[in-house]
Structure 1
Amino acid sequence: MAWRLRLVPEKTNIDFFKIQWVTFGTSVFAMLASIVLIFTMGLNFGIDFRGGTTIRTESTTAVDVGAYRDALSGISAGDVSITEVFDPSFRDDQHVAMIRLSAREGEESVTPEVIAEVEAALQAIDPAITFPSVESVGPKVSQELITSALLAVLAGAAGILFYVWVRFEWQFAVGTVAALIHDVLVTVGIFALFQIKFDLTIVAALLTILGYSVNDTVVIFDRLRENLAKYKQMPLREMMNLTANETLSRTIMTASTTFISLLVLFIFGGDVIRGFVFAMLLGVVLGTYSTLYMAKNIVLMLGVDRSDKTKKPGNGEFANVDA
């Protein structure tokens, strides 16, 4: 018999509702605390949202991000972000980087003197470097980006609400979206608490978190719908516990493998993607927690109409998922 790794026993009987008011209360407290942190401490917006200047560099010498950063360490600008650009169309001796400078506190834009200072510092370590383009993002554009980012997250949540509502029932949709709001809000709250840089890549991470979290929730809800038809007399609370235990192996395996992959990226991926990966790590942990302890709690509170379950047996896409 082939040996298989199991992170949890083949059959479990965990009561996920044993301390439901503690877990649910913790989630509500974390959401309220996140809102307070966002409005009191604020987010440490990156150049995308604060405005600044982007300088494109080209050179026949390979880009050394560390050397660039050391050369610009004494520049009297705000935050400095350096990213090497790769493109299959580049020549073998064409090395491109993007340098983003944010304006200093109290200033609306990066001054020409600062830009000249940056160019001189880079030319000192690489005489072959050129600056094909210099572009500035003003405060107005930054505000538009903030609005667009917020609308993108809200549109994603609304689309998921509609999908779950059509696929299941409105109680499931409310539970799912509440769990998604919990995941995104607590993630943003942690960014506010530790003042981690918040830019467009973090918005991309938040949208990815929405998709990851709803995947877990939909699989569990689909199994729940199947059990509603299978166990017609079983109390809803017991049935939800049964469903969570049946899918627990799949939930833990998915979360663990995703977390390990992201952890490797966080350690070895470098500064450019570290904020994105950190947000994803939070999303994996929070998404698994909210699926097990928040979404189901809300469905239990709202109740489910079981009068027609005998007429509509569960035959969802994920009904045969091996958990």
Structure 2
Amino acid sequence: MQVFSFTRPLNFMRLKWPAVLLSMLLLVGSLGSFALNGINWGLDFTGGTVIEAGFAQPADLVAVRQTLDGAGYGDAVVQLFGTSRDVLIRIPLRPDIAQAVVGDTVLQALNAQQAEPVTMRRVEFVGPSVGEELKQDGGLAMLAALVGILLYVAMRFEWRLSVGAVAALAHDVILTLGLFSVLQLEFDLTVLAAILALIGYSINDTIVVFDRIRETFRKLRDGSTAEVINTAITSTLNRTVITSLTTILVLVVLFYLGGALIHGFATALLFGIAVGTYSSIYVASAIAEILGISREDMLPPLPIEVDGENGHGQP
């Protein structure tokens, strides 16, 4: 299926410096938001109580929040969970209240204000030590993924491409985290899973472009580095657009129909895929060109011929 058909390659590299500047500004903005706002860590990382309550009639979230405020849980996060009769309540960890009694206290407060009984569907507790361990393990998982990709691309292609690939992945991760920091969206385990999935998606897109760059270097013997990269990116544009659009379509459905628990997951991947598609062109490929990638770097090594008489190897 051909979405785009071009008689000549598009000049993507003409905009590499404005794109690099834009990326630098976005990275600085994201890091600045980390310093000022931090990350809105979910209960998976900070510890606390998650309660799923079932109401006989559609729940009034404003009234539920007022009830919890009166019971001493003014910092509780209340949202619908699936249907209008299912409510998810997140209560941060508090040293003055034992977690074991939070569920019963909340249920009693809700039943005191409701004409029909409220049922407790689920209660989960996360301790602070578990949350801190999850935070550290998540950071190590992302770091290990980036290091592994750096080594793979360096061995599979060339070190300049490896630097470009890891720079693009770091770019995607930082900007996605920056979005959650600026908007103060909750960062829980589902968002961490989305970040790890984004790393895999983004490197797959980058590897496809790099493989086409290597093939094009061998075909266009007289072309400049910019011409080769433009030709390679243009030739993969159909594949990139189709893959991105189909993935985004699924994520949009998940965002609107999947329920509140995976809103963060869908948001991270929707934003990350858009940024990842951009970074494969204007971060990974642009950095490789800036570092001086050339045709000679992509050619296979010459075979060594062995002189039968003296046994010396000669190229």
Query: What TM-score results when the alignment is normalised by the length of structure 2?
Result: 0.81
Deviation at 1:121, TM superposition (A): 5.0
Structure 2 CA distance, aligned partners of 1:264 and 1:159?
32
Counterpart pick for 1:21 among 17, 20, 26: 17
Provide closer, same or farther for how the CA distance between residues 12 and 51 of structure 1 changes in structure 2, counting only shifts above 3 A: farther
The reply on whether 1:153 has 2:153 as its aligned counterpart is: no
Q: Percent identity?
A: 37
Deviation at 1:304, TM superposition (A): 2.5
Structure 2 CA distance, aligned partners of 1:64 and 1:211?
43
What are the superposed Cα offsets for residues 219-268 of structure 1, whole Å, 9 maximum, x if unpaired? 01001111122223321111111111111111111111211221122222
The answer to whether the Cα contact below 8 Å between 1:184 and 1:206 also exists between their aligned partners in 2 is: yes
Deviation at 1:309, TM superposition (A): 4.6
The reply on whether 1:118 has 2:106 as its aligned counterpart is: yes
The reply on whether 1:213 has 2:211 as its aligned counterpart is: no
Deviation at 1:140, TM superposition (A): 2.4
C-alpha RMSD over aligned residues: 3.0
The reply on whether 1:174 has 2:159 as its aligned counterpart is: no
Give the match's secondary structure for 1:14. coil
Superposition pairs of residues 92-241 of structure 1, within 5 angstroms = 101-103=90-92, 107=95, 114-121=102-109, 127=117, 129=119, 135-241=124-230
Provide closer, same or farther for how the CA distance between residues 182 and 221 of structure 1 changes in structure 2, counting only shifts above 3 A: same
The answer to whether the Cα contact below 8 Å between 1:50 and 1:102 also exists between their aligned partners in 2 is: no
The answer to whether the Cα contact below 8 Å between 1:109 and 1:138 also exists between their aligned partners in 2 is: no
The reply on whether 1:79 has 2:77 as its aligned counterpart is: yes
The answer to whether the Cα contact below 8 Å between 1:122 and 1:129 also exists between their aligned partners in 2 is: no
Provide closer, same or farther for how the CA distance between residues 66 and 49 of structure 1 changes in structure 2, counting only shifts above 3 A: farther
Structure 1 CA distance, aligned partners of 2:32 and 2:257?
33
Give the match's secondary structure for 1:303. coil
Matched to 2:44, the amino acid is D
The reply on whether 1:269 has 2:258 as its aligned counterpart is: yes
The reply on whether 1:8 has 2:4 as its aligned counterpart is: yes
Counterpart pick for 1:299 among 284, 288, 296: 288
Deviation at 1:179, TM superposition (A): 0.4
Aligned match of 1:246 = 235
Structure 2 CA distance, aligned partners of 1:68 and 1:271?
17
Structure 2 CA distance, aligned partners of 1:237 and 1:298?
12
Structure 1 CA distance, aligned partners of 2:61 and 2:229?
53
Provide closer, same or farther for how the CA distance between residues 128 and 229 of structure 1 changes in structure 2, counting only shifts above 3 A: same
Structure 2 CA distance, aligned partners of 1:238 and 1:278?
35
Aligned length: 291
Deviation at 1:207, TM superposition (A): 0.4
Structure 2 CA distance, aligned partners of 1:303 and 1:125?
73
The answer to whether the Cα contact below 8 Å between 1:10 and 1:249 also exists between their aligned partners in 2 is: no
Structure 1 CA distance, aligned partners of 2:56 and 2:231?
55
The answer to whether the Cα contact below 8 Å between 1:31 and 1:186 also exists between their aligned partners in 2 is: yes
Provide closer, same or farther for how the CA distance between residues 128 and 271 of structure 1 changes in structure 2, counting only shifts above 3 A: closer
Where does structure 1 lack aligned partners over 5 or more consecutive residues? 85-96, 314-323
Structure 2 CA distance, aligned partners of 1:40 and 1:267?
31
User: 107-116 or 25-34, which moves further after superposition?
Assistant: 107-116
The answer to whether the Cα contact below 8 Å between 2:56 and 2:118 also exists between their aligned partners in 1 is: no
Provide closer, same or farther for how the CA distance between residues 310 and 146 of structure 1 changes in structure 2, counting only shifts above 3 A: closer
Deviation at 1:158, TM superposition (A): 1.5
Structure 2 CA distance, aligned partners of 1:70 and 1:24?
46
